[in-house]
Chains A and B, each alone.
Chain A
Amino acid sequence: MSEKKDILVCRCEEITESEIREAIRNGAHTITDIKRRTRAGMGLCQGKTCFKLVSRILADELGVKAEEILPQTDRPPVRPISFKTLGGDGDE
């Protein structure tokens, strides 16, 4: 049997499926736990791309439905924003 190729799950931080599975086996129970242990979801897109994929892996490992997995905490900003825009007078 040929070795299965590891899939890149979080493109921003280049985290693979096997790294995520390992984190879960080491005790991660939530999307946030996985993020802290692996950096998956810590990049520029803040998990927008990989959240569903990470949820599916987590659901598979924990034996629950993917829909039952909660997303990470919502935090501002919704999309990247420059210091100038955030710190400005709100004209932009």
Chain B
Amino acid sequence: MNKNADVVVIGGGAVGTAITYYLAKKGLKTILVEKKDYAEGTSSKCEGHLAVHDTEPGYFSRLSKLSLDMYPSLIDELEYDVHYKEMGIGLLCETEEEVEYAKKIMKGKIEEGIPARFVDQYELQQREKYIAKDILGYVDYQCDSQLDPMYLCYGLALEAKKNGAEILNYTTVKDISLNEKGEVEKVITDRGDITTKTVVNATGVWAPEIGKMVGLDIPIRPRQGQILITERTSVKVVQQSYSEFGYVLTKKGKKRSSVTPEMDEYGVALVIESTPADNYLIGSSRIFGDMNTKNSIEVIKAIAQRAMRFFPILEDINIIRTYAGVRPSTPDGYPIISDTKVPGFYIAAGHEGNGISLAPITGKLISQIICGEERDIETKAVNFSRFQENN
């Protein structure tokens, strides 16, 4: 198999399939190379929240909002049903300090044009009959939504194919060769070579391996997260999806007074997502380390305890499975959506826990960067050159 392409995208997760879709739509001859099936890496080991609720006001928040705004029309373009559900996500507050901090963030978000409102304890009790009585309320981020991340990958890939893209699943990139000027020349796979001048590295937590092939040091490291799956239950545990405000705090590495030492150590914060199948997905944890995707009893126990603290009704509901994934995290918490000093080599990786939310805007921005078009938002904050000491 020897082929040629305008662009080769490496990585068949949400980010890679989105990029392939946007490039193919522009009429570029695009080949997606994925070492296994779609969503094999992180996009099948996460939750499906599309979120602006987990960031403070600023560039990341604005980038997320742009991406979320793209979803309704993108969903219309996809033939595949990705179980997209617009319903808002609530950020639950446990203490007065959290309420105060959450309201402050909310104010900044509203100024950015993000619809949000604080729902007090009384109204929370009216809406959610199973919530612990002492939870003080939540910030309702009404533009947040959810979908099935795996189906998103299938849907984007299928649509990319209809637009002329070629997909090579179960194909491993062995090397990338550069010409004498140092420009991208060829992608070498275990199934043959692809001649191309343009490569996009969308391999998330595996991005450093691909970067090495062209002499780049990409500072992405794995951050593990574990999730529980409940049995299908007719108990309507929640009317919408929630995270606890502590999730925002753990992302910032802040200590919380209200949790056990284990929860603090493993960065455990409640995330609860209802699914169309009536299973609930319950997270979350944050552990920096290696590529380990195994579950550990200490962590899933702490997650179960944290979930019961908010929703005591869960006590008698069964957990049928657990899973764990590694999120690609960067030193400053921002993704990399950028060209590099290697002509023809682009990076779209390091989205940590926001890859599903940011997939559409990432796909669109990369296509704009490659084609030299005006960008939907300036990309200085996500440029790879910020890690200059590495490169």
Interface residues of A (CB under 8 A from B): 13, 27-30, 32-33, 36-37, 39, 42-44, 46, 75-77, 80-84, 86-87
Are B314 and A76 in contact (CB-based, < 8 A)?
no
Are A87 and B37 in contact (CB-based, < 8 A)?
no
Chain B interface SS verdict (over half): mixed
Are B308 and A75 in contact (CB-based, < 8 A)?
no
Are B323 and A84 in contact (CB-based, < 8 A)?
no
Are A76 and B322 in contact (CB-based, < 8 A)?
yes
Please measure, in the bound complex, the distance between the C-alpha atom of A23 and the C-alpha atom of B321, giving whole angstroms: 23
For the A-B complex with A75-B322, A82-B319, A83-B316 known, give 4 more contacts whose Cβ atoms are closer than 8 Å.
A13-B277, A29-B37, A42-B279, A81-B319
Are A81 and B323 in contact (CB-based, < 8 A)?
no
Please measure, in the bound complex, the distance between the C-alpha atom of A49 and the C-alpha atom of B342, giving whole angstroms: 52
What is the interface residue range for chain B against chain A? 20 to 34
Which of chain B's residues have a CB closer than 8 A to the CB of A36? 37, 39, 44, 150
Q: Given A27-B37, A27-B169, A28-B37, are A83 and B307 also a contact pair (CB < 8 Å)?
A: yes
| Least Cβ–Cβ distance between A23 and chain B, in angstroms | 10
| Least Cβ–Cβ distance between B303 and chain A, in angstroms | 8
A–B Cβ pairs within 8 angstroms, 9 of them:
A27-B38, A27-B169, A33-B40, A76-B297, A80-B231, A80-B318, A83-B317, A84-B316, A87-B307
Please measure, in the bound complex, the distance between the C-alpha atom of A37 and the C-alpha atom of B308, giving whole angstroms: 31
Are B308 and A83 in contact (CB-based, < 8 A)?
yes
Are B315 and A76 in contact (CB-based, < 8 A)?
no
B305 within 8 A of A: yes
Residue of A nearest to B297 (CB): A76
Please measure, in the bound complex, the distance between the C-alpha atom of A42 and the C-alpha atom of B321, giving whole angstroms: 9
| Least Cβ–Cβ distance between A71 and chain B, in angstroms | 14
Checking B39, B169, B295, B304 against A87 with a beta-carbon cut-off of 8 angstroms, the contacting residue is B304
- Residue-wise, chain B 158-178 has the 8 Å CB interface mask toward A (1 for contact) of 000000000001100000000
| Least Cβ–Cβ distance between A37 and chain B, in angstroms | 7
| Least Cβ–Cβ distance between B137 and chain A, in angstroms | 24
Are B37 and A84 in contact (CB-based, < 8 A)?
no
Are B304 and A86 in contact (CB-based, < 8 A)?
yes
Residue of A nearest to B320 (CB): A80
Which of chain A's residues have a CB closer than 8 A to the CB of B231? 44, 80
- Interface set, chain B 28-81, CB cutoff 8 A to A: 36-40, 44
Are A46 and B37 in contact (CB-based, < 8 A)?
no
- Residue-wise, chain B 311-331 has the 8 Å CB interface mask toward A (1 for contact) of 000111111111100000000
Are A39 and B37 in contact (CB-based, < 8 A)?
no
Please measure, in the bound complex, the distance between the C-alpha atom of A28 and the C-alpha atom of B169, giving whole angstroms: 9
| Least Cβ–Cβ distance between B273 and chain A, in angstroms | 15
B154 within 8 A of A: yes
Most buried by A among B304, B305, B307, B323: B304
Please measure, in the bound complex, the distance between the C-alpha atom of A1 and the C-alpha atom of B356, giving whole angstroms: 48
B133 within 8 A of A: no
Please measure, in the bound complex, the distance between the C-alpha atom of A39 and the C-alpha atom of B276, giving whole angstroms: 12
